[in-house]
Amino acid sequence: MLWLDPDFYSLALIVPAMIFSLAMQIMVKSAYKRQSRVRNARGITGAAAAQMVLAAYGIQDVRIEVTRGKLSDHYDPRTKTIRLSEGVCNADSVAAVGIAAHEAGHAAQHALGYTPIKVRNAILPVCNIGSMMAMPLMLLGFMLEFWGLVSIGLALFALIALFQLVTLPVEFNASRRAMQAIDGQNMLQGSERAGAKKVLNAAAMTYVAALVVSLANLLRLMLRAKRRR
């Protein structure tokens, strides 16, 4: 996307944001790698940890299954399924417990009707369209000098940034629920608990980085549109 506007001001906006995003991705991978080597004293697997969190919230209609990939863990509200990666589901590492508990925290949010996740789900379909259409609309608008298309593209970019902003409380809340359940059921103790929290904090920062990149891109494109007009 840099070729669209390769002047100094664009670089000053987007390059630091991209560096920050890359640093956060490295940080989460590093934290996961370290804590995935540390087995928890109770031998609790990721699947067991997720089940314990669900039980703490009285949730009985959510399934847990294994999925391929690394750090591909997620909760699917459509099928009420927690999908844990192979390195998490049956592993008894500190990282596995933290990540699985986090995904179960998302299941709890859906079960309890957590407002931010309702807002995020409501705008998700439009954001999916926006992620595909925003840049083509802006390119076409710039080429034809049709500023209505440019404005629609900017609006879609703004909606994507809003989605990522709403995602922040969703992710932080899921981690908070995870740590509360971990503490309440004594899954981890001492340095183990600290290790799980480091993994969750690092993962949360990747969402912060995604928001920063989106805002930098939005501002860059707004400045470009202003100059072109």
- Selecting among 65, 86, 103, 192, the annotated active-site residue is 103
Rounded (to 5) percent helix, strand, coil in the chain: 75, 5, 20
CA atoms of 10 and 48, how far apart (whole Å) = 48
Give the whole-angstrom CA distance, residue 77 versus residue 212.
27
In this structure, what are the phi and psi dihedrals at residue 65, rounded to the nearest 5 degrees?
-140, 160
103 part of the active site: yes
Query: Are the C-beta atoms of residues 85 and 138 closer than 8 Å to each other?
Result: no
Q: Which two tokens stand for residue 204?
A: 């949360």
Q: From first to last of its 229 residues, what are the pLDDT tens digits of the chain? A: 444 444 566 667 788 899 999 999 999 999 999 999 999 999 999 999 999 999 999 999 999 999 999 889 999 999 999 999 999 999 999 999 999 999 999 999 999 999 999 999 899 888 888 888 888 888 888 888 788 888 898 999 999 999 999 999 999 999 999 999 999 999 998 999 999 999 999 999 999 999 999 998 888 888 877 776 6
pLDDT given at position 225: 77
Question: Domain spans of the chain?
Answer: 2-228
Say if CB 120 and CB 167 are below 8 A apart. yes
> Strand (E) positions, the chain?
63-67, 74-76, 81-85
Helix (H) or strand (E) holding 31: helix 8-35
**Overall residue count recorded for the chain in this entry:** 229
What's the pLDDT score for residue 229? 67
Distances in Å between the alpha carbon of 228 and those of 68, 180, 214? Answer: 46, 52, 21
Q: pTM of the prediction? A: 0.87
Question: Which amino acid is residue 120, in one-letter code?
Answer: R
Whether the CB-CB separation of 136 and 86 falls below 8 Å is answered with no
The sheet carrying 81-85 orders its strands as 63-67, 81-85, 74-76
Looking at residue 226, its pLDDT comes to 76
What pLDDT score was predicted for residue 9? 61
Q: Please, how many CA atoms are within 13 Å of residue 72, restricted to the half-sphere of its CB?
A: 10
Between CA 161 and CA 61 the distance in angstroms is 33
* Beta carbons of 15 and 23 less than 8 angstroms apart: no
